[in-house]
């Protein structure tokens, strides 16, 4: 029986090793494919690494925006894409407050983190390396999640303040 | 298509504004792999006949940024920069860790080859749709930080505009030069990610001579297919487990060495190598870590070793400086070797060098050389415009700026330590070359040979890359499996594990790569080709193997203090080891490759050229 989970993210702890991207693409694509990974580490400025992945907003604007009902929510709270139904219109990207979904590089279908069916591979490799930038929490849907659905550049601006102090206002 | 390779190289002729793609035959790739090895082969094929006439800073030189078959796949992703070196006049493979390399492969290219010279500043944008030349007037003169900031925004917006509605693109991978490269400073580095540098060789100056400010690349494809994916997956996990278990190195990187090398092995440069020992205990890793490190665990693509640390000075006179740890080399060259013994000043100078795009080891060495001449009264306040006392971080900051802009004395020092020594000797009528700590034009790394506890006696003297400490030589066999392999497979040496890496190389390529084959065939083939190009040299400097393939004079002076006081490099050991190294490689006593060896290595096409070298 699957239960609701969430991937907690601590941006200040991300090393930028991008092994989450490699583990994710190994799991979903069978091979190393950074831009097909459902978690992608953005870097608007070196040192400001932002793991960018679906935050499972409690109101799921992406699901609501889909004109062909290709998106649905599973028991883990993940958004699943029905690739047969998806027409690659990009509405889900526009609806997402963090512009998290992207169109798959090969066939242009919407691509979103599926929480690996309850066993996220990105979390495993991040924890294995001791970074704990991504951590698995077993908690139900709540309003806080949406706070994490933000564009990488906005997150990076805040990381910059933490890491660089006043200088942080100049780098992005 | 050979496994592990994207399958094509992007070629750019900046003079004719032409861009095309090249495919290399599998037998060439199997023989030279990628990176450093392939660079030497490409340079020989295209410039070999006219090598001595090729000005490294002229449009006839070629700039190469190459990956290898293991790049991106094997943990520790690097890019190898090469061309005819404006320092050694031979070929050096200079590598730096960067997402540039993995982006390049996912864009479908194994490397970029740039020839000619643009009529005005440009940068290259590479995507899966090919390469394009874009104006860089707005980037010229900009520091590293500014260049990254502008390019990240500009390119992200441009790609978004071209293919809107597919979602966000991650930022491009970028290699670039600072003002030092633009002004053709021979010790300018190819920079990436603010503080990562392909430093040895002076390829920042080569990019600058082509008016090439940067190359940015964004790929969206998978990494290349391999021969045995399941084996690669298993080894990939095993290598990462090994990396993750190295807790001390992960925590402090090479920065711990600033303390332990200076304190234990007595091989750290102090005051332009006048000493290699100091009692100051304030330069250890923790002294940098607590006040300045903004990120203790900072990595590059597919690396869990995170030896680089992100640093930022948040208060005081150097407020706002961003750099890395600094690592051991920078700690030494921008610390004790300049008489600087505090973490704040060393971190500041590291940030200055990063932003200007100066190679810390090489230009740091030149600055110390100048300071010693000042100490000896050979260079005066009138020559410099200010006083250059050991330990004065402000004066060295000023000097770094002057070098990067070729202002005043900076114009001479911009030529690198050896060429500057020749010029100053001429100007002053005093031979100052004994104070120039270089080997074959390349300023040496921060590892001395005198105490006998660090670099071996021929580490630099026999190396085709001269003072490059990452490419040191020893016995002509075992040293082949280290940098010659890593820089040709293009992976990071710190992540390279004997056994695992050979299994990995076979699983990726499907070729029968073994350590023994590499040490007796591939390695010697690459190094022999590099040696021939180094011996050809020119046009401004030609090396005399009997005189020049040796340690700097300073390394034969006795250490003046410390636990190894009185020790110097054993000249007899150097001669014996050098002859042995040459013998193992099938070179004669002067280091000129013999005919039989050329034939055995499949380099018979070098014979005509080499036969002339034997007669000189």
**What are the structure tokens assigned to B196, written together?**
């990562």
CA A113 to each of CA A27, A57, A101: distance values in angstroms, whole numbers, following the listed order: 12, 13, 8
pLDDT of residue B283: 76
Residue B604 structure tokens: 């018979």
Q: State the pLDDT at residue B64.
A: 98
The DSSP element (H or E) to which A154 belongs, if any, is: helix A152-164
Residue B282: pLDDT above 80? no
Q: Distance between CA atoms of B417 and B424, rounded to whole angstroms?
A: 10
Specify the pLDDT at position B255.
Answer: 81
* A134: chain B residues, CB-CB within 8 Å: none
Mutate to test the interface with B, among A10, A16, A130, A157 (most CBs of B within 10 A): A16
The structure's pTM equals 0.98
Residue with tokens 């990120």: B295
pLDDT > 90? residue B616:
no
pLDDT, one tens digit for every residue, chain A (172 residues)? 799 999 999 999 999 999 999 999 999 999 999 999 999 999 999 999 999 999 999 999 999 999 999 999 999 999 999 999 999 999 999 999 999 999 999 899 999 999 999 999 999 999 999 999 999 999 999 999 999 999 999 999 999 999 999 999 999 9
pLDDT value, residue B260 = 74
- What would you report as the CA-atom Rg of chain B, rounded to the nearest whole angstrom? 23
In angstroms, the CA B461 to CA B36 distance is: 19
Among B129, B162, B167, the strongest candidate for a mutation testing the A interface, having the largest count of A CBs within 10 A, is B167
Asked if A82 has any chain B CB less than 8 Å from its own CB, the reply is no
Tens digits of residue pLDDT in B441-464: 999 999 999 999 999 999 999 999
First-to-last C-alpha distance (Å) of chain B: 43
Measured between beta carbons, the chain B residues lying within 8 angstroms of A47 are 194, 294-295, 298, 310, 322
Q: Which residue has the tokens 């700097």?
A: B552
**CATH code assigned at B319:** 1.10.569.10
Residue of B71, B85, B189 lying closest to B463 (CA atoms) = B85
Query: Rounded to 5, what percent of chain A is helix, strand, coil?
Result: 35, 15, 45
Among B166, B220, B244, select the one facing A90 at the smallest CB separation: B166
Are B193 and A35 inside 8 Å of each other by CB?
no
Does B478 reside within a domain? no
Q: Does B478 touch chain A (CB under 8 A)?
A: no
Answer yes or no: is B269 within a domain. Answer: yes
Q: Is residue B133 part of a domain?
A: no
Residues from chain A that touch B99, judged by Cβ atoms under 8 A, are 18, 43
- Report whether A53 contacts A7 (CB < 8 A): yes
**Domains of chain A listed by start with CATH number:** 6-169 (3.30.70.20)
Q: Does A102 touch chain B (CB under 8 A)?
A: yes
Is residue B259 pLDDT above 80, yes or no? no
Q: Is B515 part of any domain?
A: no
Task: Indicate the Cα dihedral angle B40, B488, B12, B538, nearest 10°.
Answer: -30
| Residue B303 within any structural domain of the chain | yes
Does residue B55 surpass a pLDDT of 90?
A: yes
Are B432 and B421 within 8 A, CB to CB? yes
In our burial notation (b when 16+ CB lie closer than 10 A, e otherwise), range B249-269 reads ebbbbbbbbbbebbbebbbbb
Segment (H or E) for A71: strand A71-73
How many structural domains compose chain B? 1
Give a yes or no: residue B611 inside a domain: no
Q: Does A91 touch chain B (CB under 8 A)?
A: no
Residue B387 lies in a domain: yes
Q: How confident is the model at residue B262 (pLDDT cuts 50, 70, 90)?
A: confident
Q: What's the distance, Cα to Cα, between the start and end of chain A in Å?
A: 45
What are the φ/ψ torsions at residue A153 (nearest 5 degrees)? -65, -35
In a domain, B528, yes or no: no
Cβ separation A34–B73 shorter than 8 A: no
Of residues A19, A40, A90, nearest to B240 (C-beta)? A19
A/B interface, count of CB pairs below 8 Å: 136
Q: Look up the domain containing B263 and give its range.
A: 246-443
């Amino acid at each position: 029986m699957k239960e609701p989970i969430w991937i907690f993210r601590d941006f200040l702890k991300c090393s930028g090793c991008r092994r989450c991207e490699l583990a994710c693409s190994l799991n979903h694509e069978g091979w190393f494919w950074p831009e097909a990974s459902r978690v992608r580490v953005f870097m608007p400025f070196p040192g400001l690494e932002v793991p960018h992945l679906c935050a499972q907003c409690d109101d799921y604007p992406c699901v609501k925006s889909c004109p062909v009902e290709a998106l649905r929510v599973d028991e883990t709270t993940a958004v699943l894409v029905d690739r047969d139904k998806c027409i690659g219109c990009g509405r889900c990207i526009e609806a997402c407050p963090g512009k998290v979904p992207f169109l798959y590089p090969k066939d242009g279908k919407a691509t979103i983190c599926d929480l690996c069916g309850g066993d996220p591979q990105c979390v495993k490799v991040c924890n294995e390396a001791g970074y704990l930038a991504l951590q698995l929490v077993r908690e139900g849907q709540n309003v806080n999640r949406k706070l994490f659905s933000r564009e990488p550049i906005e997150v990076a601006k805040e990381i910059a303040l933490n890491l660089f102090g006043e200088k942080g206002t100049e780098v992005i | 298509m050979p496994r592990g390779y994207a399958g094509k190289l992007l070629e750019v002729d900046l003079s004719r504004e032409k861009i095309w793609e090249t495919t290399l035959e599998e037998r060439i790739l199997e023989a030279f792999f990628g990176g450093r090895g392939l660079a030497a082969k490409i340079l020989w094929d295209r410039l070999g006949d006219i090598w001595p006439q090729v000005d490294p800073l002229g449009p006839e030189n070629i700039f190469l940024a190459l990956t290898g078959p293991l790049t991106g796949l094997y943990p520790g992703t690097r890019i190898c920069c090469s061309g005819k070196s404006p320092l050694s006049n031979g070929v050096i493979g200079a590598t730096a860790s960067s997402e540039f390399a993995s982006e390049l492969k996912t864009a479908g290219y194994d490397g970029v080859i740039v020839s000619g010279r643009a009529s005005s500043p440009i940068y290259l944008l590479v995507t899966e749709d090919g390469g394009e030349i874009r104006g860089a007037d707005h980037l010229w003169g900009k520091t590293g930080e500014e260049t990254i900031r502008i390019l990240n925004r500009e390119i992200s917006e441009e790609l978004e505009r071209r293919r809107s509605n597919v979602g966000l693109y991650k930022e491009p991978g970028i290699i670039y030069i600072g003002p030092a490269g633009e002004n053709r400073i021979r010790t300018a580095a190819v920079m990436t990610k603010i503080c990562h540098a392909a430093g040895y060789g002076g390829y920042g100056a080569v990019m600058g001579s082509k008016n090439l400010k940067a190359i940015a690349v964004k790929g969206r494809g998978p990494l290349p297919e391999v021969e045995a994916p399941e084996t690669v997956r298993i080894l990939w996990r095993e290598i990462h487990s090994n990396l993750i278990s190295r807790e001390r190195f992960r925590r402090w990187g090479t920065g711990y060495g600033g303390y332990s090398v200076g304190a234990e092995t007595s091989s750290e440069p102090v005051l332009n190598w006048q000493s290699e020992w100091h009692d100051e205990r304030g330069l250890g890793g923790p002294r940098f870590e607590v006040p300045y490190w903004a990120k203790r665990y900072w990595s590059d693509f597919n690396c869990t070793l995170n030896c680089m640390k992100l640093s930022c000075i948040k208060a005081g006179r150097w407020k706002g400086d961003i750099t890395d740890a600094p690592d051991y080399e920078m700690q030494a060259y921008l610390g004790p070797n300049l008489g600087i013994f505090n973490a704040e000043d060393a971190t500041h100078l590291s940030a200055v060098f990063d932003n200007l795009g100066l190679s810390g080891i090489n230009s740091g060495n030149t600055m110390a050389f100048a300071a010693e001449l000042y100490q000896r009264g050979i260079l005066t306040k009138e020559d410099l415009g200010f006083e250059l006392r050991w330990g004065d971080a402000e004066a060295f900051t000023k000097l770094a700026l002057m070098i990067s802009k070729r202002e005043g004395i900076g114009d001479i020092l911009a030529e690198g330590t050896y060429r500057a020594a020749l010029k100053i000797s001429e100007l002053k009528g005093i031979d100052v070359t004994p104070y120039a700590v270089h080997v074959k034009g390349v300023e040496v790394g921060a590892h001395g040979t005198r105490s006998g506890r660090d670099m071996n006696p021929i580490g630099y003297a026999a190396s085709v890359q001269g003072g490059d400490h990452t490419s040191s030589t020893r016995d002509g066999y075992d040293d082949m499996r280290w940098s010659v392999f890593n820089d040709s497979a293009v992976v990071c040496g710190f992540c390279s594990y004997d056994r695992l890496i050979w299994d990995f190389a076979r699983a990726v390529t499907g070729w029968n790569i073994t350590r023994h084959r590499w040490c007796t065939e591939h390695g010697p083939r690459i190094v022999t080709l590099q040696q021939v190009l180094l011996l050809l040299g020119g046009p401004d400097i030609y090396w005399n193997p009997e005189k020049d393939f040796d340690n700097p004079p300073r390394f034969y002076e006795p250490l003046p203090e410390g636990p190894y006081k009185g020790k110097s490099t054993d000249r007899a050991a150097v001669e014996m080891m050098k002859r042995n190294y040459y013998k193992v490689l099938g070179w004669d006593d002067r280091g000129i490759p013999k005919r039989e060896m050329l034939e055995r290595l499949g380099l018979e096409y070098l014979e005509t050229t080499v036969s002339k070298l034997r007669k000189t």
